[in-house]
């Protein structure tokens, strides 16, 4: 099945890329979640628009990515949320919450889709988060979750 990616998919490609995937993966996972759309001649005209949008929010080069990684490494992010007596959160911390907290702490504006949370954050304490700034550059951010 030939698809045009509309979002970045790990191990597959970036927005605007035309990829060939197995029918079930495209039909049952990529298309329903909005990560891709079917390739047609009409849809192929939209590729340029998708690539322009990607370029507008993407970090241009490795030097800039390393500079942003340095800013993130020195940053201490604090998130206040509701928690029970045992330190367990009501819900969990999302990538959008982290992106907002980084911006509020004086850090750069991050795309929430670039933030990777290995295990769901469901407890109070210090957590390490990875941000993929560039295909070759990743940054680590310390997030302190406190009950509020």
The pLDDT tens digits for 81-112 are 999 989 899 988 999 999 999 999 888 888 88
Averaged over 121-127, what is the pLDDT? 92
Question: For the whole prediction, is pTM greater than 0.85?
Answer: no
Angstrom distance (rounded) from CA 132 to CA 120: 18
CATH code, domain with 21 = 3.40.5.10
Are residue 90 and residue 138 in the same domain, yes or no?
yes
Are residue 111 and residue 74 in the same domain, yes or no?
yes
CATH code, domain with 107 = 3.10.430.100
- What pLDDT is stored for residue 124 in this prediction? 94
30-45 per-position pLDDT tens digit:
999 999 999 988 887 7
Angstrom distance (rounded) from CA 102 to CA 78: 8
Say which residue, 27 or 42, is predicted with more confidence. Answer: 27
Are residue 32 and residue 84 in the same domain, yes or no?
no
Angstrom distance (rounded) from CA 13 to CA 97: 25
Are residue 46 and residue 70 in the same domain, yes or no?
no
Are residue 43 and residue 104 in the same domain, yes or no?
no
**From the CA atom positions of the chain, what is the Rg in Å?**
18
- Please, which residues bridge with residue 125 across strands? 145
The residue range of the domain holding 90 is: 62-147
- What pLDDT is stored for residue 134 in this prediction? 79
Angstrom distance (rounded) from CA 34 to CA 6: 7
pLDDT at residue 127 greater than cutoff 80: yes
């Amino acid at each position: 099945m030939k698809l045009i990616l509309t979002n970045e998919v790990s191990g597959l490609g970036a927005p605007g890329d035309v990829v060939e995937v197995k029918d079930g993966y495209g039909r049952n996972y990529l298309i329903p979640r909005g990560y891709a759309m079917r390739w047609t001649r009409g849809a192929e005209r939209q590729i340029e628009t998708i690539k322009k949008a990607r370029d507008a929010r993407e970090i241009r080069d490795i030097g800039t990515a390393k500079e942003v990684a340095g800013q993130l490494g020195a940053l201490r992010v604090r998130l206040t949320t509701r928690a029970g007596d045992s330190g367990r959160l009501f819900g969990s911390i999302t990538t959008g919450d982290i992106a907002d907290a980084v911006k509020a702490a004086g850090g750069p504006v991050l795309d929430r889709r670039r933030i990777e949370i290995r295990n769901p954050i469901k407890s109070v304490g210090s957590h390490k988060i990875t941000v993929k700034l560039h295909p070759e550059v990743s940054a680590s951010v310390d997030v302190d979750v406190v009950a509020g």
